[in-house]
Amino acid sequence: MTDDKKDPINGYPDLTQFIRSIQRIEGKPDCFARTATDCDNPACQWHSYCVKELKKKKEKAMSSKKHYLEIKPVCKDLSHAP
């Protein structure tokens, strides 16, 4: 696996891309952790891991939204703003 396919934070191979590659080789849709909702194919061999990845994605998205909402203005009096 080339360096561009590694997780930049941890330096590990990107498992999501790896699993999607396996799905394509098997002739199946490369849907791993792509859906906005829970996976609807419980017969898939990756189902339990996929659901966990989707949950992580949702939590990360919610976390980033929370940080965005916590930003406070530096100046309360904006009457002098350009």
pLDDT digits (tens, 9 = 90+) for 4-52: 555 556 677 788 899 999 999 999 989 998 876 767 788 899 999 998 8
What local confidence, expressed as pLDDT, does residue 60 receive? 82
Supply the pTM of this predicted model: 0.59
For residue 21, the cross-strand partners are none
The helix/strand count (H/E) of the chain reads as: 2, 0
In eight-state DSSP terms, residue 5 is G
What local confidence, expressed as pLDDT, does residue 62 receive? 79
Which of 33 and 77 is assigned the larger pLDDT?
33
Per-residue pLDDT for 2 more than 50? no
Q: Identify the band that residue 82 occupies on the pLDDT scale cut at 50, 70 and 90.
A: low
